[in-house]
Amino acid sequence: MKRVLILLIIAVMLLVGCGGDGKQTQSNNADSQNFAFEYNGVEITINTDVAPIIEKLGEPIDYFEAESCAFKGLDKTYYYSGFLLTTYPKDEKTDYVSVIYFNDDSVSTKEGIYIGSSEEDVVKAYGENYTGGEGFYTYRSGDSTLTFLIEDGEVVSITYQALVDGL
């Protein structure tokens, strides 16, 4: 059931991307950093070339690809313990990190937030400069967002996402 939910989330992200023209959105602050997640000593930064990251992470538990409707090429999803990583094709040779989605509480953000953390811990770690509210907190850094879904005062979903037109 959990795998079906994850595949539905990926499908929705891919379908939402179909409305865009494939051009990357420019950041309001060129010097700003995109969000990054660290797993087993490997830093995974949103909107960066995924090839060296995949090489360091090693063989995924599972892999899925589908023709991108927003870009020319394939959107790819790599499944690792605790999270999945989705890419988008930027040119013929390079895939970029599009989404990092936490599957369970075995992984956490650099600031120590994981599925099961309290709403207060999220605001304490990331501050009041978010959009959303009412259980939905989205923080922006550079050309990326970090979103926490909160139910009953507890984090139930954590998603890093690239800011790309159409997504």
Domain CATH for 26: 2.60.460
Specify if 7 maps to a domain: yes
As a whole number, mean pLDDT of residues 37-62 equals 95
> Would you place residue 86 in the very low, low, confident or very high pLDDT band (cuts 50, 70, 90)?
very high
Specify if 167 maps to a domain: no
> Would you place residue 2 in the very low, low, confident or very high pLDDT band (cuts 50, 70, 90)?
very low
Higher pLDDT, 18 or 68: 68
> Would you place residue 63 in the very low, low, confident or very high pLDDT band (cuts 50, 70, 90)?
very high
Is the pTM of the predicted complex or chain greater than 0.85?
no
Mean pLDDT of the chain: 83
Specify if 134 maps to a domain: yes
pLDDT over 50 (residue 76): yes
pLDDT over 60 (residue 49): yes
3-state secondary structure string across the chain? CHHHHHHHHHHHHHHHHHHCCCCECCCCCCCCCCCEEEECCEEEECCCECHHHHHHHCCCCEEEEEECCCCCCEEEEEEECCEEEEEEECCCCCEEEEEEEECCCCCCCCCCCCCCCEHHHHHHHHCCCCEECCCEEEEEECCEEEEEEEECCEEEEEEEEECECCC
Tell me the residue range of the domain where 30 lies.
Answer: 2-162
Specify if 128 maps to a domain: yes
User: What is the total count of domains within the chain?
Assistant: 1
